[in-house]
Amino acid sequence: MSVRLPIAVIGAGVIGRTHIERTLSSERLRLVAIADPSAAAAELARATGTPHFDDHHAMLAQAKPRAVVVATPNATHAQISVDCLEAGAAVLVEKPIADTLADARRICDASEATGLPVLVGHQRRHNPIVRKAAAIVGSGALGRPVSVTVMCTWLKPRDYFDAAWRRQRGGGPILINVIHDIDLMRHLYGEIDSVQAFASNAVRGFEVEDTAAVALRFRNGALGTITVSDTAAAPWNYDLGSGEAQRFPQQDINAHFYCGTAGSLALPQLELWRYRSDHGPAQGWQDPLTMERTAVHTECPYAEQLRHFVALIEGREAPVCSAQDAYRTLAATLAVADAAATARLVQPSA
């Protein structure tokens, strides 16, 4: 049997706990430390029999992990990731890779300087639904991409905002949720050329937005829109439809609609709409459209992401979402925030 890779999780909050659970059930990983100053994290470490550290410096020096998961608040990602790389550990850092492009660049540079891989936690790319969607779009079944419509609407409960960083700039649904949608749009349709947006904090009144409407232009010429609100009693959201995170009850809905000249694809139900018979130039809205729905095997994308992380460290697979790739997703997402703040058309920074 292969050796288990020593891994540590830094930040044992909502998503850190998912990583801890998946690490504990992995045949290829051995959880050697949890680093998080909170009492809840110390308790979790006790309950799982894992050495606990208040900070990542002491943890890196004593536990000497070969891999770490960084699942701390956004603004801390860069410093912690750089420290881990410099201590010789490969990094799986949660999205967003950082909260500024300068910090994201520091992670890219440290990965290059140390020769150690960085994987960024855009876990949807590891979901069989998204793999199949990429294969469908890549096969040309949609024809020329013309538009994409994305809904990201749901209701975050009041106590979600007890953590101060979630009420402050950078902690809202654009950088927390829409970044996943933008990453998926980039994954399927390619680079984003420019964006315009409106944002509103009218319902909660926090510094951070609770609702936004975004228009995007892709380099391939397609246009897109995103409607996001975390104060809407609504199910139209990739996470609720995909069943990706067990903490959310699954809804039988689609939330992303990719349209092309030859067909269109609704996600996460993987519904492909096409004309079955070819009427040449006469084809049009009076002809019946047929829908094929592909059922894929369910796989936990967080577990699959960790499997891939091990393969990446062992040099057996190329990164599904590298630091550079996540840098571009962050650049497009920050462009949305910038466009909303300035009421201007913004092009993502290179």
User: Contact positions toward ligand NAD, by CB under 6 A?
Assistant: 10-16, 35-38, 41, 55-56, 71-74, 76, 94-95, 121, 123, 163, 176
Given a contact cutoff of 8 angstroms between Cβ atoms, the answer to whether 128 and 296 are in contact is: yes
User: Cβ of residue 37: shortest distance to ligand NAD, in angstroms?
Assistant: 6
Please identify, using beta-carbon distances, which residue of 87 and 223 lies nearer to ligand NAD: 87
Distance, in Å, from the CA atom of 321 to the CA atom of 104, rounded to the nearest integer, reads: 14
User: Cβ of residue 63: shortest distance to ligand NAD, in angstroms?
Assistant: 13
Please identify, using beta-carbon distances, which residue of 136 and 312 lies nearer to ligand NAD: 312
Please identify, using beta-carbon distances, which residue of 153 and 177 lies nearer to ligand NAD: 177
Residue linked to tokens 């998503």? 15
User: Cβ of residue 255: shortest distance to ligand NAD, in angstroms?
Assistant: 15
- Name the closest residue to ligand NAD (Cβ): 13
Please identify, using beta-carbon distances, which residue of 160 and 198 lies nearer to ligand NAD: 160
User: Cβ of residue 329: shortest distance to ligand NAD, in angstroms?
Assistant: 12
Please identify, using beta-carbon distances, which residue of 100 and 347 lies nearer to ligand NAD: 100
Radius of gyration of the chain measured on its C-alpha atoms: 21
Q: What DSSP letter does each residue of 122-186 carry, written as one string?
A: -GGGGSHHHHHHHHHHHTTTT-SEEEEEEEEE-B--GGGGGSGGGGSTTSSHIIIIIHHHHHHHH
Find the distance separating the first CA and the last CA of the chain, reported in whole Å.
44
Given a contact cutoff of 8 angstroms between Cβ atoms, the answer to whether 130 and 124 are in contact is: yes
User: Cβ of residue 248: shortest distance to ligand NAD, in angstroms?
Assistant: 10
User: Cβ of residue 99: shortest distance to ligand NAD, in angstroms?
Assistant: 9
> Residues for the chain: how many in total?
350
Strands (E) in 169-288, as ranges, are 192-200, 211-218, 223-229, 256-260, 264-267, 271-275
Please identify, using beta-carbon distances, which residue of 37 and 88 lies nearer to ligand NAD: 37
